[in-house]
């Protein structure tokens, strides 16, 4: 018992952050809801749809495929998704703990370390991971990535194995450990030989996992995903460079925002960019300009390693765990540098820090409600009101997907107002909410003129027009 008290006393800062992280995410993840691909995976596994058994093989993620087979393959009720979201949240708590512990070892103060831990837990990438059950395993890939870095010097074979396993689950999260290499460079103004070797090992692991994924696809006769295709010409390469500079890089300067464009997002982006410049000047002051630019550029490239070679340019927060965290650290360093220059009193620093966490927490929770919780509640009410009390023998869903649905001014998939706009969602969601087998549900794209008795018609075209 004494050891427990001693551990708690020594790590009271980190424990406080861990409690906050779990409490914040528990506010939403313990509710009964599902979103987007969640409905499709439950439905397809229930119907034993052959496509769901190869979905992730085709993206060179064979280990993820097995994880989905074990998890979603054994879920028949969307209420059970709370278990997957809990697994994701515990994974995030561990990510934050490992991140803070490593930042402390690098030499950052406890206050700065805890601020980054709190900030990372509020990044859109990570509240997507905890609230979207389909991504529940991604925080654990970040955990594996950090552990691979921690083990690299003494256990290189185990470290390499963890890197490969991470890439075979989810490539964007497999490089999350680069965040700590980035933080180490900022703190020490140099990349150690060990870190250079580790980055080289990540590159080798990425290539090895890709070849492994391709081999598995050949053995199972599974076609590769078209969107996982590689850049094949100068034009695509130029497009990729422009996309990387105007999407992932820019988003890293405004870590918490989900809005795509507008005056306020632009202003916050400019503030974040200026703070990043201040941080960059802090780095340059202790080293050469060329080395600083090349080192930061190289580390950002490693942070986007899984995005660099593919031709597809679709921006989503879920593919940006590393650059989002790196951007937050850079903005944090810039903000800290300004406070140090102004010799701000501790009370003022603490007040600003607490207010910032409160504002970002309220903002993030509002977006979680708006994107995940409220749309489900609206969909559920529509279905229950339409169905009434008499169970139908058959359900016809009318939805013309040739007509665009209204969108929010958000980045990527978060822009959808209702996940009914995704063609793969309605059948699964209707089946789950109304507790009717998918074989009795039919999706059509035009209004019916002759409807038989005891057939329930759900008109999503009318629902779309009201949004």
Distance of CA 233 to CAs 207, 230, 237, Å? 20, 9, 6
Q: Please, which residues have CB within 8 angstroms of residue 144's CB and are 6 or more apart in sequence?
A: 162, 165, 166, 169, 174
What letter would DSSP give residue 420? G
Query: Can you say whether the dihedral through the CA atoms of 200, 203, 207, 208 is positive or negative?
Result: positive
pLDDT of residue 266: 94
Q: What angle do CA 271, 274, 275 make, to 5 degrees?
A: 85
Mean predicted lDDT score pLDDT of the chain: 93
Residue 437 burial by CB count (10 A; 0-12/13-18/19+): exposed, middle or buried? exposed
Give the residue-averaged pLDDT of 423-452. 89
> How confident is the model over 199-247, as pLDDT tens digits?
999 999 999 999 999 999 999 999 988 777 788 888 888 988 999 988 9
Please give the share of the chain, as a percent, with pLDDT higher than 90. 79
pLDDT band at 342 (very low <50, low <70, confident <90, very high): low
> According to the per-residue pLDDT averaged within each range, which of 177-181, 184-188, 345-349 is highest?
177-181
What letter would DSSP give residue 370? I
Buried b (16+ CB within 10 A) or exposed e, 4-14: eeeeeeebeeb
Q: Please, which residues have CB within 8 angstroms of residue 247's CB and are 6 or more apart in sequence?
A: 313, 315
pLDDT of residue 276: 94
Q: Is the model more confident about 449 or about 389?
A: 389
User: Does the reported pTM lie above 0.85?
Assistant: yes
> How confident is the model over 362-375, as pLDDT tens digits?
999 999 999 999 99
pLDDT band at 415 (very low <50, low <70, confident <90, very high): very high
Please give the share of the chain, as a percent, with pLDDT higher than 70. 98
> Per-residue pLDDT for 450 more than 70?
no
pLDDT of residue 3: 75
**How far is residue 23's CA from residue 8's CA, in Å, rounded to a whole number?**
18
pLDDT of residue 270: 96
Q: Rounded to the nearest 5°, which phi and psi values hold at 33?
A: -165, 170
> Per-residue pLDDT for 353 more than 70?
yes
Give the residue-averaged pLDDT of 107-119. 95
């Amino acid at each position: 018992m004494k050891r427990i008290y001693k551990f708690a006393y020594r790590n009271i800062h980190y424990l406080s952050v861990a409690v906050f992280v779990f409490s914040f995410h528990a506010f939403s993840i313990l509710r009964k809801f599902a979103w987007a691909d969640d409905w499709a995976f439950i439905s397809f596994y229930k119907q034993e749809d052959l496509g769901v058994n190869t979905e992730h093989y085709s993206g060179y993620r064979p280990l993820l495929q097995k994880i989905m087979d074990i998890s979603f393959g054994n879920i028949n009720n969307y209420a059970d998704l709370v278990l997957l979201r809990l697994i994701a949240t515990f994974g995030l708590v561990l990510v934050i703990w490992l991140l803070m512990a490593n930042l402390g070892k690098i030499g950052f103060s406890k206050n700065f370390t805890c601020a980054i831990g709190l900030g990372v837990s509020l990044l859109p990438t990570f509240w997507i991971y905890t609230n979207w059950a389909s991504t529940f395993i991604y925080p654990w890939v970040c955990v594996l990535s950090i552990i691979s870095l921690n083990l690299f010097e003494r256990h290189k074979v185990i470290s390499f194995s963890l890197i490969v396993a991470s890439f075979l689950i989810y490539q964007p999260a497999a490089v999350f450990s680069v965040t700590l290499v980035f933080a180490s460079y900022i703190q020490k103004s140099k990349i150690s030989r060990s870190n250079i070797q580790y980055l080289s090992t990540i590159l080798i692991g990425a290539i090895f996992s890709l070849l492994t994924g391709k081999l598995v696809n050949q053995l199972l006769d599974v076609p590769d995903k078209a969107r996982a295709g590689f850049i094949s010409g100068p034009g695509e390469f130029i497009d990729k460079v422009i996309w990387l500079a105007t999407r992932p890089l820019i988003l890293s300067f405004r870590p918490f925002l989900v809005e795509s464009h507008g005056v306020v997002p632009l202003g916050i982006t400019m503030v974040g960019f200026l703070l990043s410049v201040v941080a960059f000047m802090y780095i340059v002051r202790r080293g050469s300009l060329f080395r600083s630019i090349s080192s930061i550029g190289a580390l950002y490239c490693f942070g986007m390693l899984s995005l660099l070679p593919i031709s597809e340019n679709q921006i989503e927060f879920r593919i940006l765990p590393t650059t989002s965290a790196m951007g937050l650290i850079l903005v944090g360093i810039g903000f800290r540098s300004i406070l140090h220059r102004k010799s701000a009193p501790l009370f003022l620093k603490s007040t600003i820090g607490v207010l910032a966490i409160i504002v970002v927490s309220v903002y993030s929770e509002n977006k979680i409600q708006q994107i995940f919780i409220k749309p489900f509640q609206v969909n559920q009410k529509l279905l229950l009101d339409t169905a009434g009390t008499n169970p139908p023998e058959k359900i016809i869903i009318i939805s013309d997907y040739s007509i665009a649905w209204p969108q929010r001014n958000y980045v990527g998939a978060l822009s959808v107002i209702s996940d009914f706009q995704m063609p793969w969602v309605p059948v699964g969601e209707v089946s789950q909410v109304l507790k009717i087998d998918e074989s009795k549900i039919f999706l059509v794209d035009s209004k019916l003129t002759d409807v038989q008795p005891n057939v329930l018609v759900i008109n999503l075209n009318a629902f779309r027009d009201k949004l």
